[in-house]
Structure 1
Amino acid sequence: MKSLFKGLFLALIASVFMAGCSLDQTSKGSDESSKNSGSTDEKVKIGLSISTLNNPFFVTLKEGAEKKAKEEGIDITTVDAQNDPAKQVSDVEDLIQKGIDVLLINPTDSAAITAAIESANNAGIPVITVDRSAEGGEVVAHIASDNTAGGKMAGEYLAEALGESGKVIELEGIPGSSAARERGKGFNEAIATASGIEVVAKQPANFDRSQGLSVMENLLQSNKDIQAVFAHNDEMALGAVEALKAAGLENVIVVGFDATDDAVKAVEEGTMAATVAQKPDLIGQQAVDTAIQVKKGTKVEKFIPVELELIKK
């Protein structure tokens, strides 16, 4: 009888031990499965606020960012501010409510965007500025070409093309935007070294082709003896080309900035003399790559430059 009880007791102990092992293995497997599931399902959510998609440059930048996001298997939501600073602030608030992890901003206005950046800061969302910088708020990185250097490149080219002498009109971008401020600064610094060159008129045309056309038409009323035009972007330069053609001034040298497809074609055809080439697709890709690094906790550079190149015939 004792032998029987002893056998039953040992069998019971073995059964409990085996069940415990099984539960432990099941628990470990469940934990491991949960961990794997979490790492697979967790995606970086990026919000991209673009100043305007009515400009081919920013369309290309957007496409570069979205292509990179797709390659990396991450979510990206793009919103178009339509060159309206108030709408851009509202767009960013909406992105924050959607639970984005990183915010990419291409500011319409470098000062007005501060409120939106501060909202993201308060929500604990890292902010990266793209192409145009911001004047306020905490930004972990800025990705852009060196606009001042690009403006200087355009100025030096014009000075050489004019033989250090001539009258120039400058079409400026959106007042308050870093791109307009920096491109104008670089251009005027370069022109200042050529004492025979005079900027006889400058006026904003807000990076827009139709405004470039109308502003140029108005400026030509009292400045028909000009030899060159520098526009802060290609859209305004192409508008200026139309105005010059209509006025019978097709020999005026026109230099733009961005190297959009239309501008490069105009350079090849000889209707534009040159354009400073940025690489918007690369800027977009680099922005997404930087956002991924920031989400991982990797330290990134405060300024990440993208190279420039002068395109001329």
Structure 2
Amino acid sequence: MRGRTGVLAAVAVLAGSLALSGCDRGGHTDLGLALSTMNNPFFVGIKKGAQAEAAARGLKINITDAQNDPTQQINQMETFTSQNVKAAIINPVDSDAAVPAVGVANRADVPVISIDRGVNGGRVGSTIASDNVAGGRLAARALATSLGGKGKVAFLEGQPGTSAARERGKGFEEGIKAYPGIEVVARQPADFDRTKGMDVMANMRQSHRDITGVFAANDEMALGAAKALGSAAGKGVKVVAFDGTPDGIKAVRGGTLTATVAQQPRLLGKQAVDWAVRASEGERLPRLVKVPVVLVTRENAAEFDH
């Protein structure tokens, strides 16, 4: 009896660890979700949305973290196919570098859905993403309005090679052209990272002390930039961001950030699972599904508290 009790205890520990991880590490798995990173609250939101939708449908989902390494995503796709998933979802580390990972699923005849960022090759059934171009235009208008249509601004770009960075930049550039009194005097990638955002902003301020506005292509970079700006953040220098994470919303409420363009990460995760199931059933899907974004300011920030 003591031996049997020990075995049961070991099984209970293993089951508990699987439940905590949110993954099915072996045996039957219905869906795979390969996230670029979980070291960012936005992608944690996607994870939670996907987990909730999978649970509501009675599906097992294996969610992995590539830690911003595209090679990891190839390995993770190989794991998904070995688990005989019905469909795979990928949030690419890099839109070009994700092509081999998608190829793994293609060769195994596993349908693929991409989320938040597109893939520049392979067979992808559909891409579920926020309307990043529209969001970039919205950010440009918000920044220009806060500056009264005049000033010198800096642009902290996202991770090069990602469709999200490219599209937000495109929207911002298109939007800011409507304000001839505003000049973009500095622009540099900060890889969607808070620490890099702080470092890049500090360097920009050394070269351009007359900056009065900043657009950062995500909340994490904006929060880093605000730290580098110190007491000037939100006052002498207006900072507009993109994502609508809890930390970003809190900074808008506190006045450190002027505004943020809010995505809906949980909705993105939910819809990705929905479209992945449809793909697994052979349904013909639209190439792109755009999820709306909304501007968050101090006036409406309370509505977006998580």
Q: What TM-score does the superposition give when structure 2 sets the normalisation length?
A: 0.86
- In structure 2, the CA distance between the partners of 1:248 and 1:266, relative to structure 1 (3 Å rule), is closer
Q: Which residue of 2 aligns with 1:172?
A: 157
Report the alpha carbon displacement of residue 44 of structure 1 after superposing the two structures with TM.
6.8
| Matched residue type, 1:88 | Q
Aligned to 1:149, which of 127, 134, 140?
Answer: 134
- In structure 2, the residue matched to 1:33 is none
- Please give the per-residue CA displacement for 1:195-222, whole angstroms capped at 9, x wherever unaligned: 1111111111110111111111111111
Check if 1:306 corresponds to 2:256.
Answer: no
Match of 2:88 in 1: 103
The SS at the match of 2:207 is coil
- What letter corresponds to residue 288 of structure 2 in structure 1? F
Give the residue type in structure 1 aligned to 2:250: K
Cα offset, 1:247, TM superposition? 7.1
Measured against aligned partners, the alpha-carbon deviations of 1:202-258 in whole angstroms (never above 9, x if no partner) come to 111110111111111111111111110000100000000000006788521001100
Contact 1:241 1:254 in 2 (8 A): yes
Match of 2:117 in 1: 132
| Aligned equivalent of 2:197, options 191, 212, 218 | 212
Does structure 2 retain, via aligned residues, the 8 Å contact 1:180–1:232? yes
Secondary structure of the corresponding residue to residue 226 of structure 2: helix
* CA–CA separation in structure 2 for the residues paired with 1:60 and 1:311: 17
**Larger Rg: 1 or 2?**
1
Identity %: 51
Letter aligned with residue 261 of structure 1: P
- Are the aligned partners of 1:184 and 1:232 in contact in 2 as well (CA < 8 Å)? yes
The aligned length equals 272
TM-fit CA distance, 1:98? 2.0
Contact 1:44 1:295 in 2 (8 A): no
Report the RMSD for the aligned CA atoms in angstroms.
1.6
Amino acid at match of 1:208: D
The residue aligned with 2:56 is 71
Q: Tell me what 1:229 maps to.
A: 214
Establish whether residue 267 from structure 1 lines up as the match of residue 252 from structure 2: yes
Give 1:166 deviation, angstroms: 0.7
Give the Cα separation in 1 of the matches to 2:75 and 2:236: 45
- Counterparts of 2:204 and 2:32, CA distance in 1: 40
**What is the SS of the residue equivalent to 2:184?**
strand
Q: Which has the higher helix share?
A: 1
- List runs of 5+ in structure 1 lacking aligned partners: 1-42
